Structure 1
Amino acid sequence: MKWRGRRGSRNIEDRRGARMSTGAKGAGGAGLLIVVVVAYFLGVDVTPFLNGGTLQETTPAQEDAAQDQAAQFVSVVLADTEEVWADLFPKELGKEYDPPVLVLFRDQTQSPCGGANGATGPFYCPADRKAYLDTSFFVTLERRLGAGGDFAAAYVVAHEVAHHVQNEMGVLGEANRVRARVSEAQANGISVRIELQADCLSGVWARHAQQRIGALEPGDIEEAMNAARQIGDDTLQRNAGRRPMPHTFTHGTSEQRQTWFLRGYQSASMRMCDTFAEDAL
């Protein structure tokens, strides 16, 4: 992804301390659970992985440099989402886009939706309309998960922003109200539709980021598709030594996640991302 030297977003709330400057510097812990990286991807539950995990050690200097670069990268990606959605909302929805704030934090922080730490991963909180991200996961993501590449990371950021897009559309609030009234299995099914729609909207963003900004490079879409495959519910459960149990899925299978991201990318239209109108996902 072509991101160096480009404009960053002003909608960054930096909670990582005085060492930071313009959202660009900070340090994470010296080690992260390797499996926690999976949880960073879109809030996937990886509790089965946490027993017997090991630490991937990095030096403070390595962590500092990695977070410095990651914070700059996130700011540029966020700026790209602002440009794309500000253009698409009036065209497709007839309204203006009000972008979210992205909170960068170190190790842990609080939100109206609960506490955030290395195990919770990136998430969007509709209560304060903010996305939360600890950038320290990028180091382990690149080295250990097998879903490296800057556009895999961009996909993560775009997915969380897509939840804000859903909130702006009124979809997220209504879906969550329904989830609160139904059985656990039904609520999980609604959650899958929420997440797959966010994947699709991420694909829409990627297509327009290329058309408007020329941000993508050869191999970027493959990086996003690989990331989508790695964090499908079925793949996560298999990698945890478990048999996939569809009634417990909350984010969709690897195939579904790839399919909906690609659908958004190929169509370039928000209208093609209505997972709630589909009988079969």
Structure 2
Amino acid sequence: MKWEGQRQSDNVEDRRGDGGGGGGMGLPVRAFGGRGLSLGTVAIALIAGWIFGINPLTVLGLLSGGGAPSAYEAPATPAQRPPADDRSAAFVSTVLADTEDVWGAVFKASGKTYEQPTLVLFRNGTDTACGRGEAAAGPFYCPGDHKVYIDLGFFDTLRGRLGAPGDFAQAYVIAHEVGHHVQNLMGVTDRVDRQRGRVSEAQMNALSVRVELQADCLAGVWAHHSQQSKGWLEKGDLEEALNAATQIGDDTLQRNAGRRVVPESFTHGSSEQRMSWLKRGMASGDINQCNTFARS
């Protein structure tokens, strides 16, 4: 992926030097609505003990019931920019900038204005409008503050532990979380969250799968337009993203954790589903092709 020398986003906040996110509320990050939308939450929980040496129930607590925290205090220190010589930060800043360009154009074409999210780099843990975010949960998006959160150590996990190396695999992770931001702007997040408490746990899991698969498709839409405008993908890049989608499918993660595959427990979709919807977005470049709620 020929990303060097491209525009970098100004919407990147570096909290890696704040001592792990400060004191804060110590609340777990939540899913949907006021809760964080993560690329890996439940699936990552299944292998948390294997990778991080922590109790999976700790991570599963990220999806426990309840609404958004009643109060949120923004970090007391001013937002910091990443160091100019930080190659990893430069990479995510470049990918974020391109998502801004692509989604800005897509929204403009439909007569709307795209609100750019902020990407927060943190280490170990940090406070968010959705509660306490922990690196063990993987990258996540918080609808409450319109921010994407990522501990760059996740890329080491993606490459070394999950078997998904490559720049474009990492770009897919960022684009997926930005996809959750697009969903939030479209009202999808709120509509799904309103179903919580009205439907069964199994039905809520099924809705969660559709949310995650749509974010995969939206990541594919970004990749389509990004390649058309920049032509920065090289041989094997698309395969890297598809491999990443496969490696983080619920069934693959459960199987790799030595557990029985339980489709009813899926919250992000199977490997085949994730790869299929990512490919759909890549092939079409059409946001209207990403209605996972109307398709099987």
TM superposition score category, shorter chain reference? 0.7 to 0.9
Q: Give the aligned residue type for 2:88.
A: A
TM-score if structure 2 supplies the norm length?
0.79
2:271 aligns with 254
Aligned mate of 1:84, from 72, 82, 102: 102
Aligned mate of 1:145, from 162, 173, 179: 162
Aligned mate of 2:87, from 61, 69, 81: 69
CA positional deviation for 1:90: 2.1
- CA distances 1:208-262 after superposition (whole Å, capped 9, x unpaired): 0000122211111100000000011111111111221111000000000000000
- The alpha-carbon distance between structure 1 residues 220 and 264, as it changes in their structure 2 partners (threshold 3 A), is same
1:127 match: secondary structure: coil
- The alpha-carbon distance between structure 1 residues 166 and 53, as it changes in their structure 2 partners (threshold 3 A), is closer
Q: Distance in 2 between matches of 1:140 and 1:151?
A: 15
CA positional deviation for 1:117: 2.0
Q: Distance in 2 between matches of 1:248 and 1:203?
A: 25
2:47 aligns with 49
Alignment RMSD: 2.0
Consecutive unaligned residues in structure 1, runs of 5 or more: 20-39, 56-64
2:194 aligns with 177
1:166 match: secondary structure: helix
1:195 aligns with 212
Relative contact order: is structure 1 or structure 2 higher (C-alpha 8 Å, sep ≥ 6)?
2
Task: Verify the 8 A CA contact 1:12 1:103 in the aligned structure 2.
Answer: yes
CA positional deviation for 1:173: 1.2
Q: Distance in 1 between matches of 2:260 and 2:183?
A: 32
CA positional deviation for 1:46: 3.0
Task: Verify the 8 A CA contact 1:42 1:156 in the aligned structure 2.
Answer: no
- CA distances 1:187-228 after superposition (whole Å, capped 9, x unpaired): 000000000000000000001000012221111110000000
- The alpha-carbon distance between structure 1 residues 2 and 164, as it changes in their structure 2 partners (threshold 3 A), is same
Task: Verify the 8 A CA contact 2:39 2:176 in the aligned structure 1.
Answer: no
Q: Distance in 2 between matches of 1:98 and 1:54?
A: 35
The structure where helix makes up a greater share of residues is 1
CA positional deviation for 1:50: 3.5
- Tell me whether 245-254 or 209-218 shows the greater mean CA deviation: 209-218
Consecutive unaligned residues in structure 2, runs of 5 or more: 20-37, 54-82
1:13 match: secondary structure: strand
Runs of 4+ in 1 over 4 A off after TM superposition: 52-55
Q: Give the aligned residue type for 1:10.
A: D
Identity %: 58
Task: Verify the 8 A CA contact 1:162 1:201 in the aligned structure 2.
Answer: yes
Alignment length (residue pairs): 248
